[in-house]
Amino acid sequence: MSDAAATPTRTLRGLLNARRGRNGRTHWTDVFTYLYLAFGIFLMFGPVIWLTMSSFKTSSALLEFPPTFLPLGQIEVQVEGYDKPLPLFEATLEDGTVKQLAQVRRIGIISQMVDPANPGEKYKVPINQRTEVREFRMAWDNYRDPLERFDFTRYLYNSVVVTVVATLVTLLINSMAAYGLAIYEFRGRGAIMMFVIGTLMIPITIILVPVYLVVTSMGMINSLWAVILPGAATPTGVFLLRQYMLTIPKDLIEAARMDRASEWAIYWKVVLPLAMPAIAVLAIFSIMWRWNDFLWPLIVLNRSEVYTLQVGLNAFQGELDVQWHYILAMTVVTLIPVTLVFAFLQKFITTGIASSGMK
């Protein structure tokens, strides 16, 4: 016992000393650092792992208290003389022996059981004398059913359409505006910049009703355009792209003008390719914003055919008879794209945020 406790301590101290070779002493903050980081991993990833584990449990396994960590399912065996596979139990018999038996039927508190190896022999076991024999099993039905029977495929499709179209529109009009503000010197440029920064101060939460009016009078209620268009011109995007385009050497543009390239051609053939790193950052931001958007879609999408995943998930969890096994699975589906973005582009995003101070 003491040995087992000493080893991790020694390893930990070795680790700390190796790192802080300068004075050789372990400051209390070193210990605190690693405890904090370990707890951080547990707290940040734990809930997501628990959600994922739970999403593979059957609806009956989800009701169990206390819950098991792994998704488990009861083993069923095919026994000669019975059409359906029978659930397997570990039963303690009257003489004290423990045997794995399959249950034929249950009458009250007595379970009729049969030995799978020897189907002729029957047993009567009180139900509190038997426990289920279980194995690791993933309930894929949690994923298959909502996608096949309910509208989740539709929601998934809507979310993808909204995210892709909105991001393309945002990239186009934001990069055009950024080009106008970065490349040209013209009267009113300062005022337009102030105006763009000013719109940063007006989040959708304070203009919900009038934007709803605008969207309604354009006949877009319950269409995906109502979600896509209002947020397409992002001040963040204009600002981010403009700051980046300012670093593009003016000589390049002058050279292109000498070659009689039109301004539009300079925009998309010279400046846009050079601004790709900033455009990529904005694209990632936009994808995150749109995929995760909730309040506005909740207001303008009232029919289940046009629900996005977020709205659909919320509607599903608000129903009286909450079907957690489906909700958990669909939550996992919803967080997969974001997790992939995170896994591959994490560095990109964090430097983007650290440099722009926005998200």
Partner 1 sequence: MALQSDHNMGERMASLAGAPVRLLFTVLEPPLAALQRGLGIKRMPWIFLLPNLAFFGLFVIVPLFINFFYSLTGGTQLYLDNRPFVGTEQYGFLLDCQTYADPQTCREDRFWKGIYNTSIFIIFQVSFMVLFSLITALILNREIRARGFFRAVFFFPVLLSPVVVALIWKWILLRDGILNAFLVSIGLDKILFFVSPEWSMFWAVFVSIWAHMGFYTLILLAGLQAIPPDLYEAAEMDGTSKERVFWRITLPLLWPNMLVVIVLALIKGVQIFDEVFVLTGGGPGTATQFIVQYIYNTGFTNQVQNFGLASAASVALGVALFILTMAQLAATRRKDDV
Find the binding residues for partner 1 in span 215-244 (CB under 8 A): 216-217, 229-233, 235, 238
Task: Choose between 98 and 336: whose C-beta lies nearer to partner 1.
Answer: 336
Task: State which of positions 115-174 bind partner 1 (CB under 8 A).
Answer: 168, 172-174
Using CB under 8 A, which of 150, 157, 324, 348 touches partner 1? 324
Note whether 246 binds partner 1 by CB under 8 A.
Answer: no
Is the Cβ–Cβ distance between 89 and 132 less than 8 Å?
yes
Dist CA 9 CA 3 (whole Å): 10
Quote the tokens at residue 160.
């993808």
Dist CA 99 CA 113 (whole Å): 11
Task: Choose between 108 and 357: whose C-beta lies nearer to partner 1.
Answer: 357
The angle formed by the CA atoms of residues 348, 354 and 357, to the nearest 5 degrees, is 120
Task: Choose between 110 and 218: whose C-beta lies nearer to partner 1.
Answer: 218
Using CB under 8 A, which of 206, 250, 258, 319 touches partner 1? 206
Shortest distance (Å) from residue 276 CB to partner 1: 4
Contact track, partner 1, 10-49, x by CB under 8 A: -----x---xx------x-x---xx-xx--xx-xxx-xx-
Part in contact with partner 1 (CB under 8 A); list of ranges 102-110, 126-134, 148-156, 189-197: 189-197
Dist CA 312 CA 67 (whole Å): 27
Give the pairing of strands 72-74 and 134-136. Answer: antiparallel
Is the Cβ–Cβ distance between 101 and 123 less than 8 Å?
yes
Task: Choose between 46 and 85: whose C-beta lies nearer to partner 1.
Answer: 46
List for the chain the helix, strand, coil content (%; round to 5). 60, 10, 25
Contact track, partner 1, 92-111, x by CB under 8 A: --------------------
Shortest distance (Å) from residue 126 CB to partner 1: 26
Note whether 350 binds partner 1 by CB under 8 A.
Answer: yes
Total residue count of the chain as it appears in this document: 359
Task: Choose between 113 and 183: whose C-beta lies nearer to partner 1.
Answer: 183
Shortest distance (Å) from residue 6 CB to partner 1: 22
Using CB under 8 A, which of 1, 4, 5, 209 touches partner 1? 209
- The dihedral through the CA atoms of 332, 336, 337, 342 has a sign that is positive
Part in contact with partner 1 (CB under 8 A); list of ranges 96-104, 123-131, 132-140, 323-331: 323-331
Task: State which of positions 259-298 bind partner 1 (CB under 8 A).
Answer: 262-265, 267-268, 272-277, 280, 288, 291-292, 294-295, 298
Question: What does 25-37 look like in DSSP terms, one character per residue?
Answer: ---HHHHHHHHHH
- The dihedral through the CA atoms of 273, 278, 281, 285 has a sign that is negative
Task: Choose between 39 and 110: whose C-beta lies nearer to partner 1.
Answer: 39
Interface with partner 1 (CB under 8 A), residue total: 107
Task: State which of positions 60-79 bind partner 1 (CB under 8 A).
Answer: 63, 65-67
Shortest distance (Å) from residue 162 CB to partner 1: 13
Dist CA 200 CA 76 (whole Å): 60
User: How many other CB atoms are there within 10 angstroms of residue 72's CB atom?
Assistant: 19
Dist CA 125 CA 266 (whole Å): 84
Is the Cβ–Cβ distance between 86 and 94 less than 8 Å?
no
